[in-house]
Structure 1
């Protein structure tokens, strides 16, 4: 029984994950920045789907924040943003067309990303992308 509990726990998804590519880019952007030590991801009202991502850098976590670490990079989310982005993954995509951080939502979420890549909404507020 204990082994099945351990296996089940090992398969549990992290509350928020960071890809190695995102971790590498965060560390690259913070080189020489003595003040900021972590990326902060939040959601704010706006965008074509109800919310838009708010990426910034911060020097510390605040009360109620959750801190996630990967390969020396740190990402912090406030309680409300983590509620909506639970089990998502932060990635960094660098191709011939653009370079950008991207939040990849889990398949079983009630959230959806807009095709513009800057906006996110709930299935209760689907919105229409105007970009």
Structure 2
């Protein structure tokens, strides 16, 4: 379903270790909003919900809610270091359009609920 690069898994595990909570896992989601209609959500959670899809990538537990799964199929998450810091990137083969900032998208079959960007 989702691919997470070795660099991204390493960084996520590093951040997760700082939380001192063995019950946490990575939750990846898609929410309505952003300039193009959908935005990505990625954070730590410890509550599973009905319909969640649960899998492990290189020892990292990842959970995706049922509604987000159809937008995240084939997504690749990476982490890049640069001179001004680092950050996660998301490459989504389902996206046909993305916002200039790169944090929102829409698909061929669903436009989501876009917000007006400044």
- TM-score tier after normalising by the smaller chain length: 0.7 to 0.9
Among candidates 91, 96, 100, match of residue 115 of structure 1: 100
Q: What are the superposed Cα offsets for residues 44-88 of structure 1, whole Å, 9 maximum, x if unpaired?
A: 111000011122201143221112322221221111111111111
User: SS at the partner of 1:31?
Assistant: helix
Q: Which runs of 5+ in 2 are unaligned?
A: none
Structure number with the higher helix fraction is 1
Q: Which runs of 5+ in 1 are unaligned?
A: 1-14
Distance 2:41 2:27 in 1: 8
Aligned residues of 1:116 and 1:129 also touching (Cα < 8 A): no
Aligned residues of 1:114 and 1:129 also touching (Cα < 8 A): no
Distance 1:37 1:47 in 2: 27
Sort the Cα spacing of 1:110 and 1:28 in 2 relative to 1 into closer, same or farther, 3 A: closer
Distance 1:61 1:112 in 2: 31
Aligned residues of 1:112 and 1:121 also touching (Cα < 8 A): yes
Aligned pair count reads: 115
Instruction: Work out which structure has the larger RCO, using CA pairs closer than 8 Å and 6 or more positions apart in sequence.
Output: 2
Distance 1:74 1:55 in 2: 13
Sort the Cα spacing of 1:53 and 1:70 in 2 relative to 1 into closer, same or farther, 3 A: same
Aligned residues of 1:67 and 1:77 also touching (Cα < 8 A): yes
Residue in 1 aligned with 2:33? Answer: 46
Task: Say yes or no: does 1:89 pair with 2:80.
Answer: no
| Bigger radius of gyration | 1
* Aligned-residue CA RMSD (Å): 2.5
Residue in 2 aligned with 1:28? Answer: 14
Residue in 2 aligned with 1:71? Answer: 58
